[in-house]
Amino acid sequence: MNKKYELIYEGKAKKVFSHDDPDKVIIEFKDDATAFNALKKDKFEGKGKLNCLISARIFELLKNNNIPTHFIKLKNENTMISQKIKIIPLEIVLRNKAYGSLCKQTTIESGTDLTKPLIDIYLKNDELNDPLITKDRIELMNIISSKDLELVIDLTLKINGILKSFFRNIQIQLVDFKLEFGYDDKNKIVLGDEISPDNCRLWDLNQKNDTIVSLDKDRFRNDLGGLIEAYSEINRRINDFI
């Protein structure tokens, strides 16, 4: 990264730099991978680039479907230019199928198809280990108004509809995903962060039997190997389709 850009923030998977235009930022996707609140760490050469390219494609798809996002354009293969937004400290998880923490915390069996999408909201706070949070607690903490929360939920459901059918077209089942939203300079709610195999569960539908083949970060979480191959396959299918 060119020296003149100031590092504003460094997260687990991305670095955010200033831009000449104060309403924009430059987001660099890193090769680092973390799981279980960063207790597990590794580095995968090429992951940053793949997540950046995949996210850019998906943000474009969402934009074409009237979903406001922070994405402006790619700067290069692992860097994008985005609107500067004030991130709402909530992680919105939508689940189409029961897996992961939902099955660890409830008696719902892994792999159950959910009759309607389930939205779980977590407080974005590493020190507290991103706890599951209620609407009443969100109100109590004054994180976001209930009207804006409804808007965020509505956008999440719309995004699910768009992504589910898009991924089905490329033979991928969208099991669940995590979104983050923020306020832009006009105080409008827009989708932020990234949409990539790092924050979605993507299962390959090109399987003859019921074997689960994860093309996402579960390859790292569960030591399955082949992470770069899986992310490259997602990127390849997206590019072949669009």
Which residues contact ligand UDP by CB under 6 A?
91, 93, 100-102, 130, 176-178, 199-201, 217
Residue 217: CB minimum distance to ligand UDP, A = 5
| Residue at token pair 């934009």 | 63
Residue with smaller CB distance to ligand UDP, 19 or 230: 230
Residue with smaller CB distance to ligand UDP, 25 or 102: 102
Residue with smaller CB distance to ligand UDP, 15 or 95: 95
Residue 122: CB minimum distance to ligand UDP, A = 7
CA distance linking residue 242 with residue 234, whole number of Å: 12
User: What amino acid occupies position 138?
Assistant: I
Residue with smaller CB distance to ligand UDP, 167 or 177: 177
Residues 6+ apart with CB under 8 A from 211: none
DSSP state string for 151-198: HHHHHHHHHHHHHHHHHHHTTEEEEEEEE-EEE-TTS-EEE-S--STT
CA of 38: how far to CAs of 16, 30, 44, 132, 195, in Å? 19, 14, 15, 18, 19
Residue 107: CB minimum distance to ligand UDP, A = 15
Residue 192: CB minimum distance to ligand UDP, A = 13
Residue with smaller CB distance to ligand UDP, 18 or 101: 101
Residue 184: CB minimum distance to ligand UDP, A = 22
Q: For the CA atoms of 46, 217, 130, 177, what is the dihedral angle to 10 degrees?
A: 110
CA distance linking residue 52 with residue 175, whole number of Å: 21
Residue nearest ligand UDP, CB atom distance: 100
